[in-house]
């Protein structure tokens, strides 16, 4: 069993789940005080015997909206609210829990948007909020635990050019939940949800374009990673010439040290953790000086643990791209965002 799968099984077996697949113990999330990293810790915790119970708590998602944790006897969820519905806001989640005594994971995407077409009267698309439920059944189960790794990002509305638009900050969140006694009287019930919400305001990592015409405005981004090197994102469309080189859709790190190392997880679709999570550990390619490149999933998420010379960095990535629609080139797109976590 791989390290990621063994760690996932162990974490999901506990009553109170630690946020995210457990990383190697050395990854302590070290941050320099000089960096513009905003960290919010939000907790909902109550038991049925308490006279006053707070069933929800809210964190700010800088530049985008709010994220609310809800644990009520009849509703358990995480809810995103966007201030601007004319933009498209995405909340990507890798959701880990136990179903039928098996460790499972599902990649979920909650979106908020308004269609941007001439015929739209403002009632198209979604509402101002989107949510992901934590319960598995309509009537909330008696006991549940699990965790979510998430990325929140925003770009211009659907079908609007995105490559040249100013990027909003990308926010990551790690969330764990646990409740018990929900099939019993209130005095027997208890619930706890913990979330850590992180946003870098000085660096906004991502590549977005809508339609092949927009792709010409930008299909790559290079971002300095202090102490590690450069993080390189590429999300290119397929070439018009079938005999031309394939488009590159990958993430790589130009390392400053030949001893740099990367541990990478890729999660797609839904199913058993052992089937849906691919992981690998690699060092620097001595020919290219790169960690990677690692292919971006067409519809999924990645986590990168990077280390070099005692410096450690962690990134979570959401990735969605359509690059092979030859008949409707305007429907090809790429939406990739990355955030520290």
According to DSSP, the residues that pair with 173 across neighbouring strands are 150, 197
Provide the β-strand partners of residue 222. Answer: 232
Burial 278-308 (b: 16+ CB within 10 A, else e): bbeeeebeeeebbbbbbebbeebbbbbbbbb
- What's the CA gap between 238 and 236, in Å, rounded? 7
The dihedral region occupied by 271, where left means phi > 0, alpha psi between -120 and 50, and beta the remainder, is left
Give 229's contacts (C-beta < 8 A, 6+ positions apart).
253, 254, 255, 256, 257, 260, 308
Q: Where are the beta strands (DSSP E) in 166-269?
A: 171-180, 190-200, 205-210, 220-225, 229-235, 249-255, 261-268
- pTM of the predicted model over 0.75: yes
3-class DSSP assignment, residue 146: strand
pLDDT value of residue 124: 75
Distance of CA 182 to the CA centre of its chain: 29
The label of the residue with tokens 């358990």 reads 76
In a structure prediction context, what are the per-residue pLDDT tens digits for the chain, which is 341 residues long? Answer: 444 444 334 333 333 333 333 443 333 334 444 469 999 999 999 999 999 999 999 999 999 999 999 999 999 999 999 999 989 999 999 999 999 999 999 999 999 998 766 666 666 788 899 999 999 988 899 999 999 999 999 999 877 899 999 999 999 999 999 999 999 999 999 999 999 999 999 999 999 999 999 998 999 999 999 999 999 999 999 887 777 678 999 999 999 999 999 999 999 999 999 999 999 999 999 999 999 999 999 999 999 999 999 999 999 999 999 998 888 998 999 999 999 99
Q: Is 312 helix (H, G, I), strand (E, B) or coil?
A: strand
Please name every residue paired with 110 in a beta bridge, in sequence order, or none if there are none.
91
Task: Give yes or no for a contact between 88 and 155, defined as CB atoms under 8 angstroms apart.
Answer: yes
Contact between residue 133 and residue 158 where contact means Cβ atoms under 8 Å apart: no
308 close to 261: Cβ distance less than 8 angstroms:
yes
Is residue 25 exposed (0-12), middle (13-18) or buried (19+ Cβ within 10 Å)? exposed
Q: In a 3-state reduction of DSSP, which class is residue 308?
A: strand
Closest CA to 332 of 318, 322, 317: 322
Kind and range of the H or E element at 133?
Answer: strand 129-133
């Amino acid at each position: 069993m791989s390290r990621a799968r063994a760690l996932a099984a162990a974490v999901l077996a506990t009553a109170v789940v630690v946020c995210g697949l457990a990383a190697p113990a050395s990854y302590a999330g070290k941050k320099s005080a000089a960096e513009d990293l905003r960290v919010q810790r939000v907790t909902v915790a109550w038991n049925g015997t308490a006279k006053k119970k707070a069933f929800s708590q809210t964190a700010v998602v800088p530049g985008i909206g709010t994220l609310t944790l809800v644990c009520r006897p009849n509703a358990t969820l995480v809810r995103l609210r966007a201030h601007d519905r004319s933009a498209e806001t995405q909340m990507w989640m890798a959701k880990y829990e136990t179903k039928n005594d098996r460790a499972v994971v599902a990649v979920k995407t909650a979106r908020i948007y308004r269609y941007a077409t001439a015929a739209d009267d403002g009632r198209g698309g979604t509402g101002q909020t989107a949510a992901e439920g934590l319960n598995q059944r309509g009537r909330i189960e008696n006991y549940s635990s699990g965790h979510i790794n998430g990325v929140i990002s925003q770009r211009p509305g659907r079908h609007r050019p995105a490559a040249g638009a100013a990027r909003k900050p990308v926010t990551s969140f790690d969330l764990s939940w646990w409740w018990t006694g929900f099939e019993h009287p209130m005095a027997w019930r208890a619930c706890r949800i913990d979330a850590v919400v992180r946003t870098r305001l000085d660096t906004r990592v991502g590549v977005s374009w809508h339609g092949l015409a927009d792709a010409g405005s930008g299909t790559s981004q290079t971002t300095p990673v202090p102490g590690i090197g450069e993080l390189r994102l590429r999300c290119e469309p397929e070439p018009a010439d079938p005999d031309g080189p394939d488009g590159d859709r990958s993430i790589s790190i130009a390392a400053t040290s030949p001893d740099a190392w990367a541990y990478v997880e890729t999660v797609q679709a839904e199913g058993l953790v052992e089937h849906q999570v691919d992981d690998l550990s690699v060092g620097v390619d001595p020919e290219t000086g790169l960690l990677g490149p690692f292919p971006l999933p067409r519809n999924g998420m990645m986590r990168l643990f990077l280390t070099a010379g005692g410096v450690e960095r962690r990134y979570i990535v959401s990735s969605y791209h359509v690059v092979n629609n030859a008949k409707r080139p305007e429907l090809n797109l790429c939406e990739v965002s990355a955030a520290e976590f």
